[in-house]
Chains A and B, each alone.
Chain A
C-alpha cells in the first residue's frame, strides 16, 4: 500500500531556532515526486518545497530544506531561523510520476514560541 507517515502530530520550537519535521513514505515506484505543503490558520494550502526522486541533491528554498534519503524512504523538512509566520500544519505528500494524484500524510502541527 502506498502510504505517508508523519510520526509527529505536533512540534514546537523557539523563534529563530531550527526544527525538523519527519516524514516517511512507502512506494515501490522509482519515479515519484515528494512535497511539503504548509497550511496556516487561514487554511490556504501552500507549497513549501518539492523534490524529484531521481535527484540526489536535496531541495532548498530559502530557510526550508529537505533531507531526502531514498533508500530509507525518508523525506524530512528542516526549517531554519523559525519565524512566527511559520506556525502552521505541515503536510508531507508524494505522487507517482505521470499519475498526478497525491498521497498525503496526516500532518504535523508546528508551534512557534516567541
Chain B
C-alpha cells in the first residue's frame, strides 16, 4: 500500500488567498484525521471523519477552516481566506476501526502564508 498521500507537500501563498490541502487515505481505512502542528501549540486535532462523516470538528480554529470528505478515497482541508498565523504543517492520518487503533500519518503539507 502507498500509505497516506498528501498534496501538496509545500504551499506558499499570500494572505487572503484560498488554500486547499488534499489527503488520500489508506485504502479501506474508515477514520480520517486532520492535524495541525506548530512550534507554539504542538500537534492539534482539527477534525476527524468516520465513514466520510465528520464526527468532531471542535478543533477547527474558526470559520475560515472547512473540511470535506466526499468519498472514502479523498478529503480536503480548505482555508479561506488564509492568514499568516495559519502557517504550520498540516497532517492527515487514517486508521481502521477495530483493528489496532493505530493512526498512520501522511508526510504532511508545510503551509506558509506570507
Contact = CB atoms under 8 A, between A and B. Distances in A.
A50 B102 contact: yes
Contacts of B50: 100
Interface in B34-90: 42-43, 45, 48, 50, 56, 89
A102 B48 CA distance: 11
B105 A45 contact: yes
Nearest to B43: A104
Contacts of B31: 100
A51 B29 CA distance: 20
Main secondary structure of the interface of A (DSSP, over half): loop
Nearest to A43: B108
Interface in A24-53: 33, 35, 37, 42-47, 50
A19 interface: no
B42 A106 contact: yes
Contacts of A108: none
A45 to B, nearest CB: 4
Contact of B97 (A100, A101, A102): A100
Contact of B91 (A42, A45, A106): A45
Query: Ordered nearest first, which 4 A-B pairs have the shortest CB separation?
Result: A45-B105, A33-B101, A104-B43, A95-B101
Interface of A: 33, 35, 37, 42-47, 50, 91, 95, 97-98, 100-102, 104, 106-107
